């Protein structure tokens, strides 16, 4: 898999990867939610927010992004791997890529949120060094310190 910053012409395909995951997890897609993926290349323009695609050949099979929350804190969002490509370590590769990008930006803390019912996602983040810091009725919240 080759990971690159998203290009404008890839926005629709990347959005479809994310929506595929939502459909699989929830059984439906509410298009009024998640306005950041309506035009990914505009929302994630590489200044404060960074979006990456993982490709095999020319097909996008994996996505991940980081969003600036403060000078030293970013949020990981839009982690998704198409179902046929799971269990190959691609999510881990994307996560490490996001962490490396955060490091180059001087980020000291990453955090993320995932659905409380997604045991596989919770396990994934814990196995990759994220610490559960809070949970509510819907979500689990994780953080990871990034050494300088």
Joined together, the tokens standing for residue 50 give 């960074």
Is the distance from CB of 135 to CB of 117 less than 8 angstroms? Answer: no
Q: What is the dihedral of CA 82, 68, 28, 26, to 10 degrees?
A: 80
- pTM (global) more than 0.85: yes
User: What does the alpha-carbon distance between residue 58 and residue 95 come to, in Å, rounded to a whole number?
Assistant: 20
What 3-state class would DSSP assign to 136? coil
pLDDT on residue 76? 97
Query: What residue segments make up the domains of the chain, in order of their start?
Result: 2-145
Alpha helices in the chain (DSSP H): 11-26, 40-43, 90-104, 119-127
Cβ contacts of 69 within 8 Å, gap of 6 or more: 75, 111
Q: Which of 28-37, 64-73, 124-133 has the lowest mean pLDDT?
A: 28-37
Q: Is domain 2-145 given the CATH code 3.40.630.30 in the classification?
A: yes
Question: What are the pLDDT digits (tens) for 55-90?
Answer: 999 899 999 999 999 989 999 999 999 989 988 999
């Amino acid at each position: 898999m080759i990971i690159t910053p998203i290009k404008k012409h890839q926005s629709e395909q990347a959005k479809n990867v994310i929506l595929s995951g939502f459909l699989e997890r929830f059984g439906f897609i509410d298009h009024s939610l998640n306005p950041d993926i309506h035009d990914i290349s505009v929302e994630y323009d590489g200044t404060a927010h960074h979006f990456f695609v993982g490709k095999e050949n020319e097909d996008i099979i994996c996505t991940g992004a980081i969003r600036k929350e403060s000078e030293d804190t970013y949020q990981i969002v839009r982690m998704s791997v198409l179902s046929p490509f799971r269990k190959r370590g691609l999510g881990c590769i994307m996560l490490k890529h996001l962490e490396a990008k955060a490091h180059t930006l001087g980020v000291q803390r990453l955090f993320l949120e995932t659905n409380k019912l997604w045991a596989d996602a919770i396990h994934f983040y814990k196995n990759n060094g994220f610490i559960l810091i809070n949970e509510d009725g819907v979500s689990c919240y994780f953080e990871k310190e990034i050494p300088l």
